[in-house]
Structure 1
Amino acid sequence: MGTSGRQDWPDFRAVDKAFAEGDMTALLQALGEPGDFPRAPVALGPGLGENPLEYAIYWSPVAFVAELLERGADPSRPDPAGFPPVIAALSSERPERLKIIALLLEHGADVAQRGINDWTPLHYAVAQGDLAGAALLLEHGADPGLRTRIDHCTSALEDAEAAGFEEAAALLRGALSR
């Protein structure tokens, strides 16, 4: 029985430890050897969600994120809370976040996938003041002119200009002129 008292939850501590240590064998054992892992949703435990890639983005070594992607984790899996994988990586504030974002993009993540506030990852990077993240996204084809479809329907460039984030605005203008 898991730590929540529910028969159907895996052991939270074992799952969390396996993610933190990047131990695939221990993770699969703690989860009860789920089929189609990591492509199919799997109950990771109370408060852990059901997306192994998302949890790994926040808590696992970069090599473990890469292993999940190699095993078929979807780098563009929608997230009901508005944090699909690339936006989740941008939000993590981990020192390795750029490596994780690059891995996601190399494995086919949608550089224009919408998330919270209908933002693309580029909108999110601008909102976070993440110039390095914005540059990486542009290198992978992010469109600085793409607008949100709600609220003020702004582009990442317009958001950078409105926020006075001049370094990002200059970078985005340069990308538009190519």
Structure 2
Amino acid sequence: MSKDPTDIQRRAIELDAAYRAGDLETVRRLLGDPPGFPNCPQPFELGCAGAPLDYAFCWSPAAMIYALLALGADVNYDAGDGFPALFTLLETDRADKYELLAHLLDHGADIHRRGINDWTPLHYAAAQRDLRAVEILLSRGADPHLKTRIDEGLSALEEAERNGYHEIAAAMMASAS
């Protein structure tokens, strides 16, 4: 990779534009056609550290995400920042978030994968008060009784009850019966 700051800035802008346009081939070219694509780290200096799938959740059309998955993108990529794939997706305000959530689960995303605060995706969806995501996760087998292994060791159900998220807690209790 060039060390010329002007070239790096130009490539970073082009890479972001390619992600936003869903232009997979340009993304791959700008990354230097790295070995293991799309399961490769991206250069931090281009402003897109992490896995290509991770960046695509935030900025790309669904077709780009489907294309990355078709190429074998790992839905359980290493997330050193505490935001594995399901967490990153749940964090977005994408109109197609729930369709993509189901698609990631269909592609083997670990429904109990731990992230920030040792939460599961169900903990995270409940903390966001995202009833629809909670219902999707529960329908796919998320365990509302799985406790964190740190802090107070609470389950997603206990967290929802403690925080007064009554509708979410009710959905979890209904799924557990």
Q: Shorter-chain TM-score: what band?
A: over 0.9
CA contact (8 A) 1:126 1:168 kept: yes
Query: Please, what is the CA RMSD of the aligned residues?
Result: 2.1
| 1:18-97 aligned within 5 A | 18-43=18-43, 45-97=45-97
Quick one: which amino acid aligns to residue 23 of structure 1?
D
* 1:112 maps to amino acid: H
The worse-fitting range, judged by mean Cα deviation, of 3-12 and 32-41 is: 3-12
What's the TM-score once normalised by structure 1's chain length? 0.92
Of all paired residues, the percent bearing the same amino acid is 42
Could you tell me how far apart the structure 1 residues matched to 2:121 and 2:10 are? 32
* Aligned-partner Cα distance in 1 for 2:4–2:151: 40
* 1:84-136 alpha-carbon deviations (Å, 9 max, x no partner): 00010011122221122112111100000000000000000000000001011
Unmatched runs of 5 consecutive residues or more in structure 2: none
* CA distance 1:132–1:123, shift in 2 (3 Å): same
Q: In 2 relative to 1, CA 75–81 (structure 1 residues): closer, same or farther, beyond 3 Å?
A: same
SS in structure 2 opposite 1:169? helix
Are the aligned partners of 1:28 and 1:34 in contact in 2 as well (CA < 8 Å)? Answer: yes
2:11–2:46 CA contact under 8 A, matched in 1: no
For residues 50-102 of structure 1, give each alpha carbon's deviation from its aligned partner in whole angstroms, at most 9, with x where no partner exists.
31010001110111111111111110112111100001001112222112211
Displacement of 1:37:
0.5
Q: TM-score, length-normalised on structure 2?
A: 0.92
User: Which amino acid counterpart does residue 73 of structure 1 have in structure 2?
Assistant: A
Alignment coverage as a number of residue pairs: 177
Cα distance in 1 for partners of 2:46, 2:157 equals 39
* Structure 1, unpaired ranges of 5+: none
In 1, Cα distance between equivalents of 2:44 and 2:9: 7
SS in structure 1 at match of 2:46: coil
4+ residue stretches of structure 1 with deviation over 6 A?
A: 1-4, 6-10
Instruction: Confirm or deny: 8 A CA contact 1:21 1:60 kept in the other structure.
Output: yes
Q: Which has the higher helix share?
A: 2
For residues 123 and 2 of structure 1, the distance between their equivalents in structure 2, rounded to whole angstroms, comes to: 42
Displacement of 1:10 in angstroms is: 8.1
Residue 110 of structure 2 corresponds to 110
